[in-house]
């Protein structure tokens, strides 16, 4: 892994790898839960998750490599890196 900070956080449990999580048709990762005070990343592509949002009506949690869930209508932002 080229990203040593990511490698360290994954090894110490400070980050969660979302690469095996299912993806929505729009490309976001679908999470089954959210862990506060933890970073999220895709260890395969070495991309950090930038925002995580919970859909207000359905309660589904989505993670994105962009800031998509920051101030997104219909979502509460749970995480912004």
Task: Give the number of other Cβ atoms within 10 Å of residue 14's Cβ.
Answer: 13
> The whole model's pTM is what?
0.94
Q: What is the pLDDT of residue 52?
A: 98
How confident is the model over 12-26, as pLDDT tens digits? Answer: 999 999 999 999 999
Based on the number of CB atoms within 10 Å of its own CB, is 32 exposed (0-12), middle (13-18) or buried (19 or more)? exposed
Total tally of structural domains belonging to the chain: 1
Q: According to the model, what pLDDT value does residue 74 have?
A: 97
How confident is the prediction along the chain (81 residues), in pLDDT tens digits per residue?
999 999 999 999 999 999 999 999 999 999 999 999 999 999 999 999 999 999 999 999 999 999 999 999 999 999 999
Pick the closest to residue 42 from 77, 14, 6 (CA basis). 6
- Which residue range is the domain that position 32 belongs to? 4-80
């Amino acid at each position: 892994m080229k990203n040593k900070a990511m490698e360290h956080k994954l090894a110490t449990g400070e980050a969660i790898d979302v690469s095996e999580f299912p993806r929505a048709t729009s490309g976001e990762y679908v999470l089954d839960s959210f862990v506060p005070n933890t970073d999220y990343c895709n260890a395969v592509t070495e991309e950090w998750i930038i925002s995580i949002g919970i859909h207000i009506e359905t309660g589904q949690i989505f993670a994105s490599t962009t800031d998509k869930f920051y101030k997104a209508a219909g979502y509460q932002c749970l995480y912004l890196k």
